[in-house]
Amino acid sequence: MILREVEDPDLIAGTKRGKVEAYNVLVSRWEKRVFNYLLRLVGDREDAMDLSQEVFLKAYLNLNRLQDASRFAPWLFRIAHNEAFSHLRRKRPETEWDPQAGETASQPRLEPIETALAVSAALSRLPDEQKEAVVLKIYQGFKFEEIAEILSCPVSTVKSRLYAALDSLKETLAPINARGVE
Amino acid sequence: MNCSQFDWKGYFLGETSGMDRTGAEEHLKICPHCRQELDRLRSIRAMMETLPEEAPPRRIAFVSDKIFEPRGWARFWNSAPRLGFASASMLAAAILAHGWLMAPRPQTPPPDLAAVRAQLEAEVTRNMQAAIDKAVSDAVSRQARQAADLVAAAEQRMEERRRMDTIAFEEAFQVLQKRMNVYRASLGFGSAQ
């Protein structure tokens, strides 16, 4: 008998048959990625944790709508994207953009290394849409087409957001890089 | 080849393939300007990778909850063989419908309407008479029951009154007897029992 690793589509099928344990395995595979995606968008651990739970609950309740199990990742991140931007819209009045914010309140708790702080600050200064494109591409490794599916926009929009973000990051991080801080 | 023809960001992000990628790599060998551009992008990525992934502060887990579990029919409906079952059901229904529609019907003579009407009237009359008899019988037995209850209640009241009279008489007799004893004692006779 040839043993093979249980793959996501198997777990999705099991969940659709009512096996909660199958879904828990699926969650354990994806929770860290979803949490980090949300953390980099919303910048707060507790908020990212609450949103992660919401994302997995909504995914569970709507799993029957997922037609192609091989597209689980973009589908899951689409839900995460919706949750994150609903959250950002709700929080916007109390978190008006502050040019110093990236250097003070929220960033140091992520990583106490200067480079990481600089990256974190540079990311926080990007518009939400550009920041999300960077997170999905650089940190989550999705292809352009998958990002377009997650964001529900054309590939050309994904590219323009990502390229603009890279230009901004180059400009912000180049001086630090030139000082040799790593 | 002109440097502006190359999409270095796309190349850096791994979104260039085939001839484009080969052409870009050939160009890099001869163009220090484009090599520098690509190095800048790579150093940005190296810096970005210093930002570590974090573990979620709590694990996410779901417990089995009947509210969220799909019901039996929903589980079946979402299962793989549903299409096979649906098509088999439709086929079976079509065969049954065809068999029922095409089956020869027995030829029955038209009914005699006058006879049917007479039969219905006799049936109605019979049922009505039975209902009237039952209602009369119920009323008579109800009245008999009420009369018996009234007689029983009157007898009970008379018995109660007789018992009370007896008690009153005995009490009066005892009082009279006590007075007689007192009188006898005052005259010097013994008391009566």
What's the rounded mean pLDDT across residues B97-115? 72
Q: Which of A151-155, B31-35, B188-192 has the highest mean pLDDT?
A: A151-155
CATH code of A26's domain = 1.10.1740.10
The pLDDT, as a whole number, for residue B3 is: 83
Domain ends where: A95, A125, A154?
Answer: A95
**Residue of A17, A36, A119 lying closest to B47 (CB–CB):** A119
CA A133 – CA B97 distance, rounded (Å): 58
Higher pLDDT, A174 or B75: A174
One domain for residues A88 and A116: no
Domain ends where: A64, A95, A126?
Answer: A95
One domain for residues A82 and A20: yes
The pLDDT, as a whole number, for residue A12 is: 94
Domain boundaries, chain B: 3-48
Helix or strand holding residue A119 (H, E): helix A114-125
Phi, psi angle pair for B58, to nearest 5°: -135, 150
Residues 116-155 (A) with a CB less than 8 A from some CB of B = 116, 118-120, 123, 134, 137-139, 143-144
One domain for residues A44 and A120: no
The pLDDT, as a whole number, for residue B110 is: 66
Its ipTM equals 0.73
One domain for residues A4 and A91: yes
**In this complex, do A17 and B75 lie within 8 Å of one another by their Cβ atoms?**
yes
The pLDDT, as a whole number, for residue A181 is: 45
One domain for residues A37 and A90: yes
Number of domains in chain A: 2
Mutation test of the interface with chain B: which of A163, A171, A179, A181, choosing the one with the most B Cβ atoms within 10 A? A163
The pLDDT, as a whole number, for residue B85 is: 59
The pLDDT, as a whole number, for residue B190 is: 60
pLDDT higher than threshold 80 for residue B96: no
pLDDT higher than threshold 50 for residue B89: yes
The pLDDT, as a whole number, for residue B87 is: 57
Contacts of A64 in chain B (CB under 8 A): 70, 74, 78
**DSSP for chain B?**
--GGGS-HHHHHTT---HHHHHHHHHHHHH-HHHHHHHHHHHHHHHHHTTS-----SS-------TTTSPPHHHHHHTSTTHHHHHHHHHHHHHHHHHHHHHSPPP--PPP-HHHHHHHHHHHHHHHHHHHHHHHHHHHHHHHHHHHHHHHHHHHHHHHHHHHHHHHHHHHHHHHHHHHHHHHHHHHTPPPP-
What's the rounded mean pLDDT across residues B23-44? 90
The pLDDT, as a whole number, for residue A105 is: 41
Q: Which of A160-164, B31-35, B176-180 has the highest mean pLDDT?
A: A160-164
The pLDDT, as a whole number, for residue B78 is: 55
Which chain A residue shows the shortest CA-CA distance from B55?
A: A32
**Amino acid type, B83:** L
**Residue of B13, B48, B75 lying closest to A119 (CB–CB):** B48
The pLDDT, as a whole number, for residue A96 is: 46
pLDDT higher than threshold 70 for residue B97: yes
**Amino acid type, A118:** A
One domain for residues A153 and A90: no
Question: Looking at the complex, does the CB of residue A45 fall below 8 Å from at least one CB of chain B?
Answer: yes
CATH code of A139's domain = 1.10.10.10
Each of the 182 residues of chain A gets a pLDDT tens digit; together they read 456 678 999 999 999 998 889 999 999 999 999 999 999 999 899 999 999 999 999 999 999 999 899 999 999 999 999 999 999 988 865 544 443 444 434 444 434 467 888 888 899 999 999 999 999 999 999 999 999 999 999 999 999 999 999 999 998 887 776 655 44
The pLDDT, as a whole number, for residue A92 is: 67
**In this complex, do B41 and A36 lie within 8 Å of one another by their Cβ atoms?**
no
One domain for residues A52 and A138: no
Q: Residue B52: pLDDT band by 50, 70, 90 thresholds?
A: confident
One domain for residues A88 and A135: no
> B126: which 2 tokens?
């019979």
pLDDT higher than threshold 60 for residue B39: yes
One domain for residues A91 and A117: no
**In this complex, do A49 and B56 lie within 8 Å of one another by their Cβ atoms?**
yes
Q: Which domain holds residue A33?
A: 1-95
**In this complex, do B57 and A64 lie within 8 Å of one another by their Cβ atoms?**
no
One domain for residues A90 and A143: no
Question: Looking at the complex, does the CB of residue A176 fall below 8 Å from at least one CB of chain B?
Answer: yes
One domain for residues A11 and A82: yes
The pLDDT, as a whole number, for residue B76 is: 57
Pairs of residues, one from chain A and one from chain B, whose beta carbons lie less than 8 Å apart: 105
**In this complex, do A35 and B54 lie within 8 Å of one another by their Cβ atoms?**
yes
Contacts of B65 in chain A (CB under 8 A): 20
What percentage of residues in chain B have a pLDDT greater than 90? 11
Residue A101 lies in a domain: no
The pLDDT, as a whole number, for residue B79 is: 54
DSSP character for A7?
Answer: P
Domain ends where: A95, A129, A151?
Answer: A95
**In this complex, do B62 and A143 lie within 8 Å of one another by their Cβ atoms?**
no
**Residue of B45, B51, B57 lying closest to A110 (CB–CB):** B51
